[in-house]
Structure 1
Amino acid sequence: MEPLVSFSDALRHAPLGRLISIAGHVVEQHWGRYLAEHHGLTSAGMRVLMVLARAGDSTHREMAERCFVRPATLTGIVDTLERDGFVVRQRDPNDRRSVQLSLTDKGREHAQALIQMIHSDRPLTSVDADPAKRAVIREFLAELITTMSDGDLGRLNPDKESADMTTRGSRPC
């Protein structure tokens, strides 16, 4: 019978790609609970508020494009935001087919609170409280995002290791 391995020991020995995947999932869950409990929002609803706070009033179609969703998907998100008093819809008097989305005072207040929290840049863990480690983490994540965003699926193919992975002694998960 194999000895029982603790969760933290298992994480210490997991491949880096797996840790990134787990961390992304856990952070998304935590963020979703925070948004729901403290702001009455979903992640999708928060994105709409943030876009409106940044870009100002937008048509339904523009908002769908900015949030990378279909207009039909956005309808349900905006229905909930409107019902909860975060946004208002207004028909364009010159084109009744066009719907303009605007933040309410409540929506603006919640968006500002979220923007301030996101930009506070306070450490998430004891590791990133160390400025030197934080700089390495930031550099790694920025490169990871850039690399994975370029559409090169070859980096995920274990038979086609990149020079970066070979020199670091890492293998994709």
Structure 2
Amino acid sequence: MGALLISGTGGADAADPGPGLVAGANGGSQSNRCDTSSAIGPVTVAASPTEISNETDCVNYAESGVAEQKNRCRTHSVIGPITIALAPGSEVDNRTNCVNISKSGHVRKQTNDCDSTSVVGPITIGPGEVKNGANCVNVASSEPENGKQKKSADGAKSGKSGSQGGRQ
């Protein structure tokens, strides 16, 4: 089975055990802007079972206090992906993943803006499985001083599709 991976990634890591956010402390900011895009495609013609992933991953991780964590991630194409003559057992994944994690819980704001879209398509001809989805996750410990957590996800849907997200 062949595999094709097209991806963009971004990551910010704050593991310094510095002071948590207390009154008057500024804390830092973690931000990712990740794009995986194409004008036409990816175009796939697969005569045998294959796996294709078109994916964007953005992750912010903080051990100690951080003022803000935010992601803006896009997996998109103007035309496509176009998949023709997939063999049974083939899988095509178009996915955007945004994750913010604050281990200490001392975070004022966590936001995700994730999209997996195409203007025309995906166009699929064949028995394979095509999945489009955007996944957004904000995680902070249960500290009472946590601020806002906001998620938005918008996934273009075709075949078996999924989209997760919402206000928290």
Q: Shorter-chain TM-score: what band? A: under 0.3
Higher helix share: 1
The structure with the largest strand share of the pair is 2
TM-score using structure 1 length: 0.21
